[in-house]
Amino acid sequence: MIKAKCVVEGTSIKGTVFFTQENSNSPVRVTGAFIGLRASVQQGFTIYEFGDITNGCLSAGEHYNPFGKTHGAPADEERHVGDLGNILASVSGKATINFTDTMISLTGPQSIIGRTVVVHGDRDDLGLGEDETSKTTGNAGSLEACGIIGIAEV
């Protein structure tokens, strides 16, 4: 069992994300909770390439995309490894997440440990928008909160 944890912080958004993987061939379970999100709004949820937040979330680089694919939804074959979809907040701005993902990993050369989780200001269009930026960023807007993924206690 491999475990990782990320404490996400922004001006108003706070949260903790947990990643668990049974072995190197199994999907990764992603769980967590957030507060301070925009009420009843979907906000993009992405893993970025660098574990660097020295200049806030801007230092984290771009969406984690080691295979050079276009932006997409979590269930799409054509997607960045870091494309994890959207978080939907309640009317109080709180959200919980609980899903599995088969593209991210906590082991090997494409491990997400040491990279950055980002919560965006807007809804991720999952690469379905009409403009070119949809295929690179999902038009998810500003980088509202972030944190570096680290190894967690087993």
CATH number at residue 71: 2.60.40.200
- Average pLDDT rounded to a whole number, residues 71-75: 96
pLDDT of 58: 96
- The helix, strand and coil proportions of the chain, stated in percent and rounded to the nearest 5, come to 5, 40, 55
Q: Which residue has the tokens 């379905």?
A: 128
In terms of Cα–Cα distance, which of 144, 153, 152, 104 is closest to 8?
144
pLDDT tens readout for residues 4-57: 999 999 999 999 999 999 998 999 999 999 999 999 999 999 999 999 999 999
Q: How confident is the model at residue 154 (pLDDT cuts 50, 70, 90)?
A: low
What is the DSSP secondary-structure string of 5-59?
A: EEEEEESS-EEEEEEEESSTTSPEEEEEEEESPPTT-EEEEEEES----EEEEGG
Query: What is the total count of domains within the chain?
Result: 1
Quote the domain boundaries for residue 142: 2-151
pLDDT of 113: 98
Identity of the residue numbered 133: T
- Average pLDDT rounded to a whole number, residues 86-115: 96
Report the mean per-residue pLDDT for the chain.
Answer: 96
Whether the CB-CB separation of 116 and 146 falls below 8 Å is answered with yes
The dihedral through the CA atoms of 47, 50, 52, 55 has a sign that is negative
pTM: predicted TM-score of the whole model, two decimal places: 0.95
Q: How confident is the model at residue 153 (pLDDT cuts 50, 70, 90)?
A: confident
* Residue percentage of the chain with pLDDT more than 90: 95
